[in-house]
Amino acid sequence: MNNKPMMSREPMQVWIGFQVFLFPFLSLTTPSGIGFSSLLFLLSALCVPRKAWAALTPHWKEIRWVVAAFWFQFALAIVAFLVRPEAGLDSLDKPSRMLLCLSCLALVLLARPSASTLWWGVVAGSVAALPFVAWQRIVLEVERPGGFLNAITFGDLALVLGLVALTAAIDYRHHTRKALLAGIGALAGLAACMLTGTRGAWVALALAALLFLSYAQLLRSRKVRLLLAGSFALVGAAFFVPATGMQERALQGVDDVQTWVDGGNVFTNVGTRLELWKGAAILIEERPLFGLDRNTVRAEIRRLVEQGTLDPAILSLEHLHNDALQALATGGVFGLAAWIGILAAPFVFFARQMGRGSARRTLGASLPQFAPALAGMLVVLCYFSFGLTEVIFWSLKGSMFYALMVFLLMGFCLAARPARQAKVEQRGN
């Protein structure tokens, strides 16, 4: 426990709080904001390595499985490189950088900035993303705008920002002005997502709605219920507005599935995915235990096309458009375990922070870690949903965004809890 007076920690608090704000704010509106933020966190931690490690040590029992999941992913990448050196050193880049995002968790526990630094960064990032992508869609007439990212990744991350902003509004439910501003950020994130035309995000919205409903009994605030109802009503209403293109894309998706099943045109967004999944199933059946390296997967897909087993329409696609299938095809059951681990371990951590049994019933949303824990569960659920029709972890920026957001929210969960509650839960672990 750090017994130093607040004044001695204030410069560190301000500096780390600024970095926490900067990360979500720059994520979608700059070409390298995510990478810049991760580097800044790491360099800051390296300036105070002993203090950063000392801040982590008291919470090791609670964070160990999450850290182990990211370590396992990195270790698997090292083994894969040693066995398949043709994959290149760049195969270690993403898992190593995701693991190093642990630095932001250490810094939050060390400096203990206010959670509002993250909330307002998320709100500002959502609000900034909307006009950015709206300009591309309306003025530049880009059908699928995505800023500095591809449209799918931009839409997915905008949705995450919107849902985390919605959680911030819940956290500010007793402060009308703050809740209103956070609500505006939530609506901006949802609107930015819709403008990209990303259909994969719709599943995430459905799961998010179920998560909010599962904790509805804890959210007795009328303002919160109105905010949740308004946010999801906006998305529902947008489906029937022709200008958004949501209804058209939904009907197109259904038609694409039927066309593929009937043996028709594969060259559609849904048709190419279904054809890729067919090819992935063949490759996984051949090498279920260890899989193949990424380049060999593409070569094998090309071979199946040349044999006439698959349609040539899929040759231009870089990955299998499903995180689970990509993990199985390139890493076998071990790759699948790594993917499940970095999703399941954080989700369980955040779920535990929401309280257990009587604590959940009696304290509920009054728990100080309630909002960051709920936000963390939403982030994990979103990434799981995105991975159903996209390899969201293919993108370095998408992967880094996930790791940074997860570790930051873990830090705010642990920093928010009263000391007595933390000791009781640690004994329970």
DSSP state of 313: G
Give the global pTM: 0.89
Q: What pLDDT is attached to residue 357?
A: 41
Task: Choose among 276, 248, 279, 274: nearest CA to 262.
Answer: 274
**Whole-angstrom distance, CA of residue 109 vs CA of residue 111:** 6
What burial class does residue 26 get, using C-beta atoms within 10 Å of its C-beta: 0-12 exposed, 13-18 middle, 19+ buried?
A: buried
Q: In residues, how long is the chain?
A: 429
Per-residue model confidence (pLDDT) at position 6: 40
Instruction: Compute the distance between CA of residue 166 and CA of residue 169 in angstroms, rounded to an integer.
Output: 5
Taking CA atoms, 406 is separated from 155, 164, 197, 393, 414, in Å, by 19, 12, 26, 14, 12
Q: How far apart are CA 50 and CA 66, in angstroms?
A: 21
Q: Which residues of the chain have pLDDT under 70?
A: 1-9, 87, 216-269, 356-366, 418-429
Q: What is the pLDDT of residue 352?
A: 92
Which residues, including other chains, have CB under 8 Å from residue 254's CB and lie 6 or more apart? Answer: none
Spatial CB neighbours of 420, under 8 Å, sequence gap ≥ 6: none
* CB of 416 closer than 8 Å to CB of 115: yes
* Cα 408 from chain centroid (whole Å): 12
Closest to 144 in 3D by CA, of 82, 209, 77, 198? 198
Which is it for the CA torsion 325, 331, 332, 338, positive or negative? negative
Per residue in 191-219, is it b (16+ CB within 10 Å) or e — as a string? bbbbbbbbbbbbbbbeebeeebeebeebb
